[in-house]
């Protein structure tokens, strides 16, 4: 038997060749999960699009968030490994229900 769910909030981000959707989902038993959907245009000519979808528990999402922040805030990584890529990121347009 499938458990019913409803979307409480969502955030949508659109950038250069990227789309990201994050949804906060509540289930019948009042537990919550976070769904993350991404689309990335790989090849414009052939319209090849990479799609991902992941469902995370709140605990896992929080841990991943902390780990990502640690990586991006680390001077060793931010300034030496990712600097050029971070500088090339264009601002995303974000829509939210929060």
pLDDT in tens, 47-66: 899 999 999 999 999 999 99
Tokens in use for 94? 């974000």
pTM of the model: 0.82
For the cut 90, the answer to whether the pLDDT of residue 89 exceeds it is: no
Cβ(21)–Cβ(10) below 8 Å: yes
For the cut 80, the answer to whether the pLDDT of residue 43 exceeds it is: yes
> What domains sit in the chain, N to C, each tagged with a CATH number?
5-96 (3.10.450)
Tokens in use for 31? 């537990």
Main-chain dihedrals φ then ψ at residue 25, nearest 5 degrees: -115, 135
């Amino acid at each position: 038997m499938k458990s019913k769910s409803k979307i409480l909030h969502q955030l949508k981000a659109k950038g250069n060749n990227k789309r990201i959707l994050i949804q906060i989902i509540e289930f019948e038993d009042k537990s919550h999960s976070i769904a993350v959907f991404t689309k990335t245009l790989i090849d414009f000519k052939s319209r090849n699009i990479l799609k991902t979808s992941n469902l995370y528990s709140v605990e896992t999402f929080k841990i991943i968030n902390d780990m990502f922040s640690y990586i991006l805030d680390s001077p060793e990584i931010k300034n030496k490994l990712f600097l050029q890529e971070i500088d090339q990121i264009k601002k995303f347009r974000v829509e939210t229900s929060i």
